[in-house]
Structure formats: C-alpha cells, structure tokens
Structure 1
Amino acid sequence: MAVELLMMGNKPARELLETVRVAEANGYDTVWIADERFYRDVYCLLTFLAANTEKVRLGPCITDPFVRHPAITTVAMATLDDVSQGRAQLGFGAGVSGFSQLGIESRKGPTAMREAITLFRKLLAGGHVNYEGEVISFHNGELDFKPFREHIPVHIASNGPLGQRVAGEVADVAIMAGCGSAAEVRGFKGEVARGAERAGRDPSSIKLTARLNTCISDNAKAARDAVRVSAARYIASGPMKMNTLDEQGLALPAEALAKVAGLPYTTDPAPYRELLPLITDRHVDACTLAGSVEEVAAHVAELRAAGIDSFIIAPYAVEGGSPMDTILRFVNEVWPAANGR
C-alpha cells in the first residue's frame, strides 16, 4: 500500500519543494507532478525536486505519447532516474492537455500508449532499436548513455475501458481518476484483468491506484463543498467521466449535460459551476475523498476492500484553510485509521 501526492506546476518551484519536503518527512511514498500545458515544465520541476530530496519517488502524472515523442520521454525519465538515483517512475496516458493549442490530434490513444511503453522499455534495455507501430515509430537509434536502471516502473492512467485494458497488458500499475466507489473499482479492476489475461499476465501482478481530489476538515460539509465543483467536472467531462454513473443512480439529466457538452479541456472546473445544484453529497463521495477524518478513513478502507492498492491524493482546502492541512491529515490521521493503526 502506498500513499502518494499529486501537485500541479502552477506554483513557484521553491514553494513546491517546501511542500514536497514536508510530504517526504511525513511518509508520502511518491510525489507526482502533473504534466499539464502550460504550467511549469514537468521535467525541470521533477529534476529540481529529485536533487533536493532523498527518498520520495517522483514522476510525471500524466504524460502522453503525442506532445513528446516517446523516445524523448525515455531520455527524460532515464535522466530523472539518474539524478534521483533510482526514484523515478513514469505516469502515462493517452493525453489531452494542450492538444488543441498545439494542433495535435489524438490518434488511436490506447494503441499509442501500448506502443509508446513498448518503445520505452526497449530503449531502456539498451542496444540498437528499430520499432514500427501503427502510431509510434523509431528508426535505427539507441540511448547514448547507460540508464541508472533498465526498468523504470510504468503507471498507466485511463478512465476508459480500452486504456485500462492496455494498463493490464503492459503496466506495472493502473491508475483511475475519480475512482471513489466500490462499483467503479469493480469495473476498473475487471478491465485491467481483461487486458492482463489477453497478454498472458497474472491480473494480481498489476496494482490498482485511485487518483482522488481530497479535502479533509472537521467541518465535513465544508470539505465536500471544496471539491464539489471538481466532482461536477468528473461526472460531466468526457475524458474523465466515470463508467458506473447509471448503475449508481448518479447520472445527470441530459439537458444539464448538454450545457457543458463540447467544453474544451481545462484544469479549471469553473465552467461546470452551473451543474452545482445537481451535485449531491452522493455525487461528491462517488469521485472524491472528502469529509471528516473518520469519514475519509472509512471511505479509504472501503476502496481498499474493493481492490484499490494505492491512493494518489490531489489536496484541496476548505475556505480559509490550506491544502497542507489535507496533506498532513491524510497521511497522519486518515491513513493510520484506515489501516487499523
């Protein structure tokens, strides 16, 4: 079991480092930096953090096969692994951030993910590589340095069944965002298992991670309100939409969804505010971790029992509070309670 932290590159590097050092000192296993356009460069930040920390694992969450060629991603990750002395791990997905601004068209996302990770592993293994896939190709090249490790762990993130099957085929860990209910875990676990079985792998060898916006406060209502608009985004947004809304009785009316249909991708949930009157606490609890320490600990324990191995929290704050409150309370209060300690 691992407790992991996701941070955005929208803060100055030294401010991020202060937070990461606190996270490391308090027992977080991993710190992820979001590869979002157009925040501070993810690999510059990760290298800076690696040079100024000692044990926390580090990686991009989530990079993709289109903005950078997978061979360039391999070079960046191998360099990060060198600087960190073996603490790098790759978070990978089909991508969406910045595509419209950069004129990038996503093509065969699940296939591109599979091919990118195949190339990533071939290059890390050393030697000359020729690779010709449907989407990704690399001609007659190799890394011109010896990687610190020949195997860097791969975490594949997807909220869609095809991407989740790819995770089962080629990843060490599968990640699902907004995976906050036992029903969603069951579907996620099943798709990963299908991919693993198709590739001749043991499904139990692929760990499952829930990536959840998180807010903890003694005022449980304030904590849920802090993440409510982000819940609206998960419930209504195509790339991140959950798969069991109908099963859970949480689907929003078609006329409400039509109001936000076609919105461009953004990390800002503000465009979804008009859906807030429809977002109940049940909606919030289905795709976030929010509430009191006791409530969040019970929620974590429920997801663990359903099959989740690790949690990536993106910390939120109640009005007048700080995300650091959530960072510290999750690892020092929620995590021990959820694990019976």
Structure 2
Amino acid sequence: MTLDLLILGNAPMIKMLDRVKLAEASGYDTVWLADERFYREVYSCLSYFAQNTSRVRLGPCVTDPYARHPALTAMAIATLDEISNKRAILGIGAGISGFAELGIDRKKPARAISEAIEVIRMLLRGETVAYEGEVIRFREGKLNFTPIRADIPIYVASNGPLGQRTAGACADAAFMEAGGNAAEVKAFRARLDEGARKAGRDPKSVKLIVRLNACIASDGQAARDALRPTVARLLGAGRLKFETAEEQGLTLPEDILATVQGAHYAAGVTPYLPLLPYVTDRHINAFTLAGNVEEVTARVIELRHAGVDGIITMPFAAEGGTIEDTIAKMGSEVWPAVQANEGVKP
C-alpha cells in the first residue's frame, strides 16, 4: 500500500517545497501537484521539486487532454522524468478547472482520456504518430528527443462509470476521489475490474488509489469540523457519482441541494456554506480522512481491507494547527501503524 501527498499550487514556491520535503522525510511515496487553473504552473513547480528532492515520485494530479494537447503532455512528463531521474508519474483525467474561462468544450471525456493515453504512450516509445481519434488528433509528429523511460506510469481519474471502466482498460492505476468508505470502494473496484476484463487485462494489474481530503489533530472533532465545508461542497456540487451513497443514507435532500445549484467551480466552498448544518460527522467520515491519529489509522486499515492499494491525501489544518501537522502525523504516526498492521516494517 502506498501513501501519497497532493498539494495545490496556491502557496509560495518555498512553502510548497517545504511541504514536499516534509513529505519525503515523513515516508510518503509520491507527491502530486494539482494541475489546477489558474495557480502556479504545474510542470515548472514539479521540476523545481525534482531538483530539491531525491526519492519521492512526482507528477500532476491530474492533467487533462483538453487544456494541454496530449503531445505536449508527453513532452512535459518525459522532460520531468529526465530531470527527476525516473521519478515522474502522470495523472490524467477529464478536467474541469479553467474550462469556462478558456472556452473549452469537454467533449466525450472518457474517449478523450483513452485516446490521450494512446498518443502519449506512442510518443514516449519514440514513435512517429499519425492519429485521428474522435477527440484527439495528431498529424505525423514525434518527440525530438529520446525519453529515458517509455513506461512512465499513467494513472486515470474519473468521476463516472464509463471513465472508471476506461481506467480499467488502459491505465496503470485509477484515482477514486472522496472514496472514504468501504461500500463505495468496492463498487468502484467492480467497474475497474469490468473495464480491465473487457480489454483482456488482469484486473489485479490496475491499482485503486483513493484521493481524500485529510485533517489529523489531537482533537478529532476539530479535525472533522475543519473538513465539513469541503464535504458540503462535495455533496452540493454533485460532480462526483457515488453508486452507494443513497442506500447508505449519505445524500442530502433534493430541496436542500437546489438552494446551491449553479455555483461556479472556481468559487470554492463559499457557495456551499448554507449546507453546513446538514453535513454530519457520518458524512465526513464517509468521504474524508479526519480525526485523531488512532481514528485515522483505523479508517486507513478499513480501506485497505476493502481493496484500496494506495491513498492520496490533500492535507488541511484543524483550528489552531497547520497543514504541516497533518502531513507529518499522516506520514510519521498513522502510516507506521498501518504498516505494522500489515506486518510491514517501517
């Protein structure tokens, strides 16, 4: 099982680098940077991190096939792989941030992801590519340098069943956002396996990585309260498709949700604050990692038993605490306890 960190490019470069170094020192396997418009440019930041670290893998979580052509992504990730000495890893999804501002039409997202991966892999192999897909086109082009690795791992993020099956068919791993409960993990895994089998792949070859907002504090309730606004946004925006949420009693009433419909993605949590009275600790526990060290450790072990192969945490601060507190506690306290439960020596 792997432990990864996800950060957003909204802090000064030196502050972000401090967090990356803390993650490396605390035992994290990978540091991901959100390719989020319009924060600091993702590949510039990742190259900076690569030059100042030695072990952690580095990659965008996630880029998309619309704002940046897959050929440019192949060029960028191969360059990062060279700078980092084979530590690059690529996360790709359908994207959403900045599309309204850029006038981008997100056409056939699952197809676009599949075609993008096909083009990227051919280019990383050094091939001259002529490609006419339903969404992606590339006309007799190739990289004018030789990537040091043709098999850079590619992970896929998708919020819908079709995209999840696509991940099973063509990715090395799939990201599951807010997959904090066993029932939802198992439903997601079933769609991954379906896509893998249909493509003639061994389902076990496709890893399942859950992406969770995380907050760890000595006062577990303070940690849960810190993530309550993020869960209000998660439930209010309706962007993610949860197969088992209704049967688990984790949805909010339609009349309540109607009061926050139409909020712009870039507005963050603010439009969803009216939902806070309806977001219970049960919601928070189902969609995040929040609590004290013992509570979060138990949750991670539960997810592992449900079939999760790795966890990506986006850290938050409890009142009176810091983001660095969550990063350090996750890596230095929670993770050794999880490994001990699995019989792995830290």
Q: TM-score under structure 1 normalisation?
A: 0.98
Letter in 2 for 1:47: S
CA contact (8 A) 2:297 2:334 kept: yes
**In 1, Cα distance between equivalents of 2:9 and 2:321:** 20
Q: CA deviation at 1:266?
A: 2.6
**Which residue of 2 is the match for residue 45 of structure 1?**
45
Letter in 1 for 2:236: A
**In 1, Cα distance between equivalents of 2:137 and 2:238:** 29
CA contact (8 A) 2:184 2:244 kept: yes
Cα displacement string for residues 273-324 of structure 1 (whole angstroms, at most 9, x for unaligned residues):
1100000011001100001111111110111000001000000111111011
- Is 2:305 aligned against 1:314? no
Q: CA deviation at 1:241?
A: 4.3
**Which residue of 2 is the match for residue 89 of structure 1?**
89
**In 2, Cα distance between equivalents of 1:292 and 1:11:** 26
- Secondary structure at the counterpart of residue 145 of structure 1: coil
**Which residue of 1 is the match for residue 229 of structure 2?**
229
**In 1, Cα distance between equivalents of 2:96 and 2:304:** 29
**Which residue of 1 is the match for residue 344 of structure 2?**
none
**In 2, Cα distance between equivalents of 1:223 and 1:250:** 20
**In 1, Cα distance between equivalents of 2:10 and 2:99:** 19
CA contact (8 A) 2:217 2:321 kept: no
Q: CA deviation at 1:154?
A: 0.4
Letter in 2 for 1:31: V
CA contact (8 A) 1:92 1:155 kept: yes
CA contact (8 A) 2:315 2:327 kept: yes
- Is 2:73 aligned against 1:73? yes
Q: CA deviation at 1:20?
A: 0.8
Unmatched 5+ stretches in structure 1: none
Q: Which moved more, 1:229-238 or 1:39-48?
A: 229-238
Q: CA deviation at 1:188?
A: 0.7
**Which residue of 1 is the match for residue 138 of structure 2?**
138
**In 1, Cα distance between equivalents of 2:202 and 2:54:** 33
Letter in 2 for 1:36: E
- Secondary structure at the counterpart of residue 246 of structure 2: coil
**In 2, Cα distance between equivalents of 1:130 and 1:239:** 34
**In 2, Cα distance between equivalents of 1:246 and 1:10:** 34
- Secondary structure at the counterpart of residue 176 of structure 2: strand
CA contact (8 A) 1:223 1:291 kept: yes
**In 1, Cα distance between equivalents of 2:202 and 2:264:** 38
Q: CA deviation at 1:25?
A: 1.4
Letter in 2 for 1:227: L
**In 2, Cα distance between equivalents of 1:190 and 1:318:** 35
Cα displacement string for residues 106-146 of structure 1 (whole angstroms, at most 9, x for unaligned residues):
00000000000000001111121111110001001100000
**Which residue of 1 is the match for residue 238 of structure 2?**
238
Identity %: 54
**Which residue of 1 is the match for residue 247 of structure 2?**
247
Matches within 5 A, 1:233-312: 233-266=233-266, 268-312=268-312
CA contact (8 A) 1:213 1:313 kept: yes
**In 1, Cα distance between equivalents of 2:215 and 2:99:** 30
Letter in 2 for 1:117: I
Q: CA deviation at 1:244?
A: 1.9
Q: CA deviation at 1:264?
A: 1.8
Q: CA deviation at 1:41?
A: 0.3
**Which residue of 1 is the match for residue 220 of structure 2?**
220
CA contact (8 A) 1:301 1:339 kept: no
Letter in 1 for 2:158: S
**Which residue of 2 is the match for residue 203 of structure 1?**
203
**Which residue of 1 is the match for residue 335 of structure 2?**
335
**In 1, Cα distance between equivalents of 2:268 and 2:241:** 16
**In 2, Cα distance between equivalents of 1:146 and 1:69:** 19
**In 2, Cα distance between equivalents of 1:266 and 1:156:** 22
Cα displacement string for residues 175-223 of structure 1 (whole angstroms, at most 9, x for unaligned residues):
0110000011011101101110110001111010010000011111100
CA contact (8 A) 1:167 1:173 kept: yes
**Which residue of 2 is the match for residue 104 of structure 1?**
104
- Is 2:167 aligned against 1:167? yes
- Secondary structure at the counterpart of residue 339 of structure 1: helix
**In 2, Cα distance between equivalents of 1:101 and 1:266:** 10
Q: For the aligned residues, what is the CA RMSD?
A: 1.0
CA contact (8 A) 1:178 1:242 kept: no
**In 1, Cα distance between equivalents of 2:267 and 2:59:** 19
Letter in 2 for 1:252: L
**In 1, Cα distance between equivalents of 2:263 and 2:123:** 38
**In 1, Cα distance between equivalents of 2:216 and 2:243:** 26
- Secondary structure at the counterpart of residue 100 of structure 1: helix
Q: TM-score under structure 2 normalisation?
A: 0.97
CA contact (8 A) 2:5 2:32 kept: yes
Q: CA deviation at 1:267?
A: 6.7
Aligned residues: 341
- Moved segments of 4+, more than 6 Å: none
Q: CA deviation at 1:243?
A: 2.9
- Is 2:182 aligned against 1:182? yes
Unmatched 5+ stretches in structure 2: 342-346
**In 1, Cα distance between equivalents of 2:315 and 2:267:** 14
